[in-house]
Structure 1
Amino acid sequence: ALQHLRLKSVVRVLWIDALCINQSSVEERNNQVCIIMARVYKQAVCVVAWLGRLQKTVPT
């Protein structure tokens, strides 16, 4: 995902909740979601959600 989101010619700051928040700690996740994530998204210039690579065929 990071290789697809990076720009070679521009410095880009990325905040990735899955990397910045200890996902195995329920207490930390709850605190971060309530406090930090709201501030990050509110102050963001652009928010991107990575859903994976585009598939050439649609699974049935």
Structure 2
Amino acid sequence: MTEEEAINLHRKIEAGVKAAVAQAIERHRRLGESISFMKDGKIVTLTAEEIPQIQVDEKL
């Protein structure tokens, strides 16, 4: 695999991971479920109402 192919593959993987995370977050929001994540070394929990609505591609 050339370096250019590796870079392109990395970009595709990164885009897929970002899309999957966005889809999971949006699913939580629609189902009224909270989400928790780490920010600055602390656990932050957002209620479904606090999760901003985002556009996701439902094809994943």
Query: Which band: TM-score by shorter chain?
Result: 0.3 to 0.5
- Using structure 2 for the length normalisation, give the TM-score: 0.35
Structure 1 or 2: larger strand share?
A: 2
- Using structure 1 for the length normalisation, give the TM-score: 0.35
Structure 1 or 2: larger helix share?
A: 2
